[in-house]
């Protein structure tokens, strides 16, 4: 890694779903491994509007809570 690296976008979108459904892995273990590999780098997460981390839009009551 470069010493100038401030953050990586490594979470969100389909990351959670793919780890769980297709790879049979615990997505939280993946996140913990990322944190261990990048101890001084901020990990960013992509949130896609009302879909948050899934494919189906959630009701406004959920996303506004």
Instruction: Compute the residue count for the chain.
Output: 65
CA distance 56 to 37: 32
Q: What is the mean pLDDT of residues 14-35?
A: 88
- At 54, is the pLDDT very low, low, confident or very high (cuts 50, 70, 90)? low
* Band of pLDDT at residue 65, cut at 50, 70 and 90: low
CA 4, CA 20: separation in Å to the nearest integer?
32
Domain that holds residue 46: 7-63
Q: Would 1 be classed as within a structural domain?
A: no
Quote the number of domains for the chain: 1
The answer to whether 26 and 64 are in contact (CB under 8 A) is no
Domain membership of residue 2 (yes or no) is: no
Torsion sign (Cα): 54, 56, 62, 63: positive
Torsion of CA 32, 33, 35, 36, to 10 degrees: 120
- 18 belongs to a structural domain: yes
- Residue 36: the pLDDT is 94
| Mean of the per-residue pLDDT values of the chain | 81
pLDDT of residue 18: 86
């Amino acid at each position: 890694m470069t010493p100038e690296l401030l953050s990586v976008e490594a979470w969100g979108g389909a990351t959670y779903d793919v780890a769980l459904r297709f790879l049979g892995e615990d997505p939280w273990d993946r996140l913990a491994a990322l944190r261990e590999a990048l101890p001084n780098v901020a990990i960013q997460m992509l949130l896609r509007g009302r879909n948050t981390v899934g494919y189906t839009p959630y009701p406004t009551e959920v996303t506004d809570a």
